[in-house]
Amino acid sequence: MKWQWGLTALFFSLTTNAQNLTSLQQQLANNNPELRASAARQQASQSQAKSQWSPFLPEISASAGYGKESTLHDKDDGYVGYLSGRWNLYRGGQDWKAKSVATQESRIADFDFEITSRRLHRELGEAYYEALLNTHFIAVDSEKLLFLHNQRAMAQKKINAGLTSNVDAIELDLEESTLSAEIETHKTDLQVSKDVIKTLINSSEPVQLTTKETFPRISEADFAKSDLAGNPTLQKQEALEQSSQLRRQQTQGAYLPSIDVNAQYGRLVPQYDDPLEATESRVSVLMTWTLFSGLDTRFKSAAAKEVEKAQGLEKTSTRLQLDTQVSSLRNKARELLQLRTLLEKRQTLTQKYYDLTLSEYRRGVKNSSDLASATNSLFDNRTRLLEVQKELAILKLKFDELTL
């Protein structure tokens, strides 16, 4: 029983099918349903933008049927059949604005995809580092159990020699029991993180990690960048503001006239004669000017103006929020880097303290409580150092999500 956690640590260190963050990110990019749905919307938006070229091209159609026509001088009925074409020459610039709006909407879909991708990769990284932390916790606790097992053997020799009482053994048994419970908690937390990873990469295969994988070595230089020009959330707000400006201009174009070229060729006047004979044609250039639309254009223009104003304010708010987040992450990283330096120095001291205490315990100078204190100090520092490394790695993920 006392050796099983040591074997568990050995299992983790020898896992051959272990996955690293890079391989998991590749699976996420290929398999995540939310990301694939965002990519589909991106493609749909691009196709919609391309469709906005159609108003600039002529429309051609064919018509055939029965008609009846009554005028002041004549009455006709019979077959009709003709080709017709229409080409808009001018519509107050509304078509160009509509095309520009569609282009901006396509850009917005691109930014939405990038926002989704960055968020999912950050969530995957967080889950991975949480899982990696618990993997290392289990390995560290298993190593500590091995230490306690060796100390238990030394204590038993002292007990057999009458140099100490059973208190030493009981203390070690209590420590082993507590440590075993902690390992079970870490195993549960590890499984939770693995389940999150499986959901993100959309895979039913088990996720394997190993203590050979370590946390990235983070430095203050990793948080030096502060340029938000490439942030997709901010770029999306800028595109939304530009889109609202174009929509306002498009609405104002409704005040201007529309000019169209219309042409028809074939049997235009209803007759029972052979429709292939006596073909007719009609060509016209028409200017249409809407003089009153029930104030529809006026109110739409006013609404578009307010939307443009709102988008500008939202862009300013987004910029302030992002600046605050970047500054907060940089300050938090600076504190953790200082703490990591202290813990790394302390790790050397706790190791020396443990070695001296163990030597003196063997000589009978120190008692079991002294050795337990030195052991806890050594492993608690290692555990805290792992936690800081994990927190730094996650901070880097969040910082990259904002600034890359």
**Which residue would you say has higher pLDDT here, 268 or 41?**
41
Q: How far is CA 315 from CA 111, 114, 192, 235, in A?
A: 14, 18, 37, 9
Residue 14 has pLDDT above 50, yes or no: no
Which residue type occupies 302?
A: A
65: left (phi over 0), alpha (psi -120 to 50) or beta: left
pLDDT at 163: 55
Q: Please state the rounded mean pLDDT for residues 169-182.
A: 78
Q: Please state the rounded mean pLDDT for residues 184-188.
A: 94
**Which residue would you say has higher pLDDT here, 80 or 127?**
127
pLDDT at 4: 43
Q: Please state the rounded mean pLDDT for residues 81-92.
A: 89
Cα–Cα distance measured from residue 318 to residue 325, given in angstroms and rounded to the nearest whole number: 11
Going across the sheet that includes 59-70, the strands are: 59-70, 75-90, 258-271, 280-288
pLDDT at 32: 96
Q: Would you place residue 313 in the very low, low, confident or very high pLDDT band (cuts 50, 70, 90)?
A: very high
pLDDT at 168: 62
Give every CB contact of residue 16 below 8 A, 6+ residues apart in sequence. Answer: none
Q: Please state the rounded mean pLDDT for residues 335-344.
A: 96
Residue 321 has pLDDT above 50, yes or no: yes
Q: Would you place residue 364 in the very low, low, confident or very high pLDDT band (cuts 50, 70, 90)?
A: confident
Share of the chain above pLDDT 70, in %: 90
**Among 216-225, 329-338, 371-380, 389-398, which stretch is predicted with the lowest mean pLDDT?**
371-380
**Which residue would you say has higher pLDDT here, 55 or 392?**
392
Residue 97 has pLDDT above 80, yes or no: yes
- For 211-236, the pLDDT digits (tens) are 888 999 999 999 988 788 899 999 99
Residue 92 has pLDDT above 90, yes or no: no
Cα–Cα distance measured from residue 321 to residue 231, given in angstroms and rounded to the nearest whole number: 12
pLDDT at 11: 45
For the chain, give the mean pLDDT.
87
- For 2-13, the pLDDT digits (tens) are 434 444 444 444
- For 29-75, the pLDDT digits (tens) are 999 999 999 999 999 999 999 988 888 889 999 988 888 888 777 88
